[in-house]
Amino acid sequence: MKIEPFKLERYFDNYEFTTQYLLSSSDCDGYSLEYVLNCATSAEKKLWNDVRLGYTEARGSLLLRQTIAQQYKTITENDILVLSPGEANFILMNVVLEAGDHVVCMTPAYQSLYQVAKSIGCNISFWKPENEHWHYNPDDLENLIKPETKLIIINFPHNPTGSFLTKAATERLVAIARKHNVLLFSDEMYSQMAHDPANEIPSFCDLYENAITLWGMAKSFGLAGLRLGWVATKNQTLLEKMLGYKDYLTICNSAMSELVSVIALNHKEKFIEPNLKKIRKNIKLFSDFHAAHQDFFDFPVPLAGSTAFIKLKIKESGLVYCERMVKETGIMLLPAEMFEFGNQHARIGFGRGNMPDVLERWGNYIKKSPGHKLS
Ligand SMILES: Cc1ncc(COP(=O)(O)O)c(C=O)c1O
């Protein structure tokens, strides 16, 4: 299968490890191995010391799947397949879809969520936000469904907008998928990251028998380097097909990553809570920054996850502005072009500790640079 370049990943590849100030990352600062092991109980430390670096169980170790299952209400270790998140998405689409199938996917979206389906030859309809406060209306999604719709793809908490579902909207989406008998792929990579814990919603795999959900260690846990995630579903036929496809990709997971994941999941409050604290603090800092630069950009405050999608009120395109800024200041912003969503927005990431420093630099650049040509 031929596939288009993954624009966001190519853009990050240009700057992520060479520029000084990342203002668009969706992951939080990565925790150190020392931090993880300091969280571990003595029994977990023993497991770590004894870890064998041979092949591992293809579907993920029993211990890890049992630990993951505790995150859900109705899911057991048999309903889980452990793999890398991008691999999960790639395998799912290849197992489920054929050329000519119809797929509904949110936009803007992390490109792989629709690009794999597009490369298979599917027809995609995009579920657009109702407004620039990034509200997604389930009725709009239902209007996109056709008799040949095979798959609905959603992502809440949403990258890049920080949009989230209410409990009522969650139930409505399940009702829509069930009524039309469509498989629902829910990318929940930013799960348990509601900024107000009272707004948390259940995972779709606990609500709908034909939902398949994705979560992993990269975002909520600040452990992106483990390259580990999982899918959870009650659709056993689908899970077995995905396992068979995985044999042609990674076959099995890294033993070390699996064990670090077990430890982090068992002590998740020590991983997710500090990340959420940092995100809330950075959103406050960014709101103050916005108050001083309202003529320059709009800032719809995100409800969940680690990112927001701001609207740049400038004449030049987001890509031109971001390229100029990264070259002149070392600050990397991710323009909307990388989400194939016009050219006026940019993603902000709230998971990094150096936000005050970066905002000071950006503020100075806004003041000094004559090239901004406000529209
Ligand atoms: C919505 C979404 N899904 C999947 C992924 C992939 O996660 P990972 O980096 O752990 O492969 C990302 C990463 O940015 C994402 O934002």
Q: Ligand 1: which of 93, 110, 260, 341 to mutate, judged by most atoms within 8 Å of the beta carbon?
A: 110
Where does the pLDDT of residue 372 fall: very low under 50, low under 70, confident under 90, or very high at 90 and above?
A: low
User: Which residue CA neighbors atom 8 of ligand 1 most closely?
Assistant: 85
Q: What is the CA radius of gyration of the chain?
A: 21
Ligand 1 pocket, residue 229 CB under 6 Å: yes
Residues of the chain with CATH 3.40.640.10: 41-267
Which of ligand 1's atoms lies nearest the C-alpha of 113?
Answer: 3
Q: Has residue 371 got a pLDDT over 60?
A: no
What phi and psi, each to the nearest 5 degrees, are found at residue 134?
60, 45
The alpha carbon of 83 and the centre of ligand 1 are apart by a number of angstroms equal to 12
| pLDDT over 80 (residue 66) | yes
Confidence of residue 200 (pLDDT cuts 50, 70, 90): very high
- pLDDT of 368 reads 85
Provide the pLDDT confidence category of residue 374 given band limits of 50, 70 and 90: low
What pLDDT score was predicted for residue 6? 97
pLDDT digits (tens, 9 = 90+) for 342-370: 999 999 999 999 999 999 999 999 998 75
Q: Which letter does DSSP use for residue 305 in this model?
A: S
Q: Can you spell out the DSSP letters for 205-221?
A: GGT-TTEEEEEESSSTT
Residues of the chain within CATH 3.90.1150.10 domain(s) are 7-32+270-372
Q: What percentage of the chain has pLDDT greater than the value 70?
A: 98
369 alpha carbon to ligand 1 midpoint, in Å? 34
Is 306 near ligand 1, meaning CB less than 6 Å away? no
**Pocket of ligand 1 contains residue 86 by CB under 6 Å:** yes
CA distance 36 to 51: 15
Residue 137 in tokens = 């209306």
User: If you take atom 10 of ligand 1, which residue's CA is the nearest one?
Assistant: 218
Averaged pLDDT of the chain = 97
189 Cβ inside 6 Å of ligand 1: yes
How many A from CA of 360 to the centre of ligand 1? 29
pLDDT tens-digit series, residues 203-237: 999 999 999 999 999 999 999 999 999 999 999 99
Q: How far is it, in rounded angstroms, from Cα 104 to Cα 151?
A: 6
Q: What is the pLDDT, as a whole number, of residue 1? A: 87
Q: 85 C-alpha to center of ligand 1: Å?
A: 6
Of 60-69, 231-240, 295-304, 361-370, the range with the lowest mean pLDDT is 361-370
| Residue located nearest, by CA, to atom 7 of ligand 1 | 85
Q: Is the CB of 220 under 6 A from ligand 1?
A: no
- Answer yes or no: is pLDDT of 373 > 70: no
Q: Is 85 near ligand 1, meaning CB less than 6 Å away?
A: yes
Phi, psi of 104, deg, nearest 5: -110, 130
pTM over 0.95: yes
Task: Give how far Cα 86 sits from Cα of 34, 48, 82, 284, Å.
Answer: 27, 26, 12, 32
Q: Please name every residue paired with 105 in a beta bridge, in sequence order, or none if there are none.
A: 126, 153
Question: What is the pLDDT, as a whole number, of residue 328?
Answer: 95
Instruction: Describe the strand order of the beta sheet including 80-83 as a list of residue ranges.
Output: 80-83, 229-233, 211-216, 183-187, 149-155, 102-106, 123-127
The percentage of the chain sitting over the pLDDT mark of 90, rounded to a whole number, equals 97
Cβ of residue 125 lying under 6 Å from some atom of ligand 1: no
Report H helices in the chain. 7-15, 33-39, 42-49, 62-69, 85-96, 112-120, 138-144, 167-179, 236-246, 255-266, 269-292, 318-329, 355-368
Distance 52 CA to ligand 1 centre (A): 28
Q: Looking at the predicted structure, is the pLDDT value of residue 375 above 60?
A: no
* 86 Cα–ligand 1 center, Å: 7
Quick one: average pLDDT of 87-107? Answer: 98
Q: 112 CA to middle of ligand 1, Å?
A: 9
Per the DSSP assignment, residues forming a β-bridge with 194 are 304
CA angle at residue 215 from 99 to 17, to 5 degrees?
Answer: 90
Give distance in angstroms: CA of 89 to centre of ligand 1. Answer: 10
Architecture of domain 7-32+270-372: Alpha-Beta Complex (3.90)
CATH assignment, 41-267: 3.40.640.10
218 ligand 1 Cβ < 6 A: yes
pLDDT digits (tens, 9 = 90+) for 142-192: 999 999 999 999 999 999 999 999 999 999 999 999 999 999 999 999 999
